[in-house]
Amino acid sequence: MFHTWVIITGASGAGKDVLTKGIRAHFPDSGKVVTSTTRPPRPGEVDGIAYHFFSTEEFEQRLALGEFIEHMNVHGFLYGTRHLDLADARNRHDLVISIMDPFGAHAILQQYPDARTIFVDAPKKELLRRLVARGDDKMMIAKRMKTRNSEIRLRHEFALYVQNIDLANTLEKIVHHIDVWRASNA
């Protein structure tokens, strides 16, 4: 059944989660690959829906068992995509959408070169404003902005690069590209 895997990646605070919600609203039959992490849940995040939340010990045990396609340490927390979660989404949906950090997305492309990738960015001042608004502390914001500087160098590795300045316009552009990709995979 599986036809198109879209990976949304980019800088922290660029709007990946909000854009992905909009994409899923436009493609209600799309599937989601639930990423695993050791970071604590943010308010409103539910285990198994937003992420699979594991302790560091449990994550490392699963890693040793070979459960992950890719994994990364991002801002002191482990993140990864499990084979099981990808297979489940692929078996049930012809459009699968994932969110992951740029280094994880880059690693996925080595194994799944047909995955369609979108790098979402925003102007630095806007990224800072969004990180403050979501409650990140000063140390975490500094860490995320430093990481952004190395992540942005990977933007040319991905199929589409968008500056998320205006949410509606950015969403429209992404939806258009997904429509084109799906048509080419049909």
Say which CATH number the domain at 96 has. 3.40.50.300
pTM for this model (two decimals): 0.84
Q: What is the pLDDT at residue 186?
A: 64
Angstrom distances, CA of residue 164 to CA of 19, 55, 65, 172: 9, 33, 38, 11
Q: What is the pLDDT at residue 167?
A: 93
Domain count across the chain: 1
**Cα separation, 54 vs 132, whole angstroms:** 26
Q: What is the pLDDT at residue 133?
A: 86
**Cα separation, 112 vs 68, whole angstroms:** 14
Q: What is the pLDDT at residue 2?
A: 55
**Cα separation, 33 vs 122, whole angstroms:** 24
**Cα separation, 81 vs 31, whole angstroms:** 14
Residue range(s) defining the domain that contains residue 101 = 4-185
The answer to whether residues 50 and 36 touch, using CB atoms and an 8 Å cutoff, is no
Q: What is the pLDDT at residue 135?
A: 83
Residues 6+ apart with CB under 8 A from 159: 116, 117, 118, 177, 181
pLDDT digits (tens, 9 = 90+) for 85-119: 999 999 999 999 999 889 889 989 999 999 999 99
Strand partners of residue 52: 36
Which regions of the chain are under pLDDT 70? 1-2, 186
The tokens for 41 are: 């849940």
Give start and end residues of each alpha helix (H) in 46-92. 56-64, 83-92
